[in-house]
């Protein structure tokens, strides 16, 4: 398997559309389409394969109470955990 670069840039069209780089589509098994999630971090965003629901589930599994405790420290209501 070809190594995936750790960072990449993409352009956004005037309609707000962008393309997921082919290396990531192949690595994440999204060649025929699928879901990705965007997690707003305020000044940046994370893109996660499979959507935000599975990402939250995994974070809660790994972090336990620390996940909810961390969420409680966020003062911006637009950045707090939202239902899947």
* CB-based burial, 23-55: b 16+ in 10 Å, e otherwise: ebbeebebeeeeeebebeeeeeeeebbbebeeb
- Please tell me the pTM assigned to this model: 0.64
Q: Is there a domain that residue 71 lies in?
A: yes
Q: Is there a domain that residue 80 lies in?
A: no
Q: Is there a domain that residue 61 lies in?
A: yes
Q: Is there a domain that residue 2 lies in?
A: no
68 vs 8: CA distance, rounded Å: 31
48 vs 65: CA distance, rounded Å: 22
Tally of domains within the chain: 1
Q: Is there a domain that residue 5 lies in?
A: no
> What value does the mean pLDDT of the chain take?
82
Range of the domain at 61: 41-75
Query: Which residues, at least 6 apart from 79, have a Cβ–Cβ distance to it below 8 Å?
Result: 40, 41, 42
pLDDT (0 to 100) of residue 84:
45
pLDDT (0 to 100) of residue 2:
57
pLDDT (0 to 100) of residue 41:
80
Q: pLDDT band for position 29 (50/70/90)?
A: very high
Q: Is there a domain that residue 83 lies in?
A: no
Q: Tell me the pLDDT tens digit for each residue of 31-57.
A: 898 999 988 888 888 888 988 888 888
């Amino acid at each position: 398997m070809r190594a995936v670069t750790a960072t990449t840039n993409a352009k956004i069209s005037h309609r707000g559309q962008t393309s997921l780089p082919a290396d990531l589509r192949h690595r994440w098994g999204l060649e025929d389409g699928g879901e990705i999630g965007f997690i707003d971090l305020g000044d940046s965003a994370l893109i996660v394969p499979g959507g935000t629901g599975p990402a939250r589930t995994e974070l809660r599994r790994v972090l336990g109470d620390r996940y909810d405790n961390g969420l409680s420290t966020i003062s911006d209501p637009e950045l707090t955990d939202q239902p899947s």
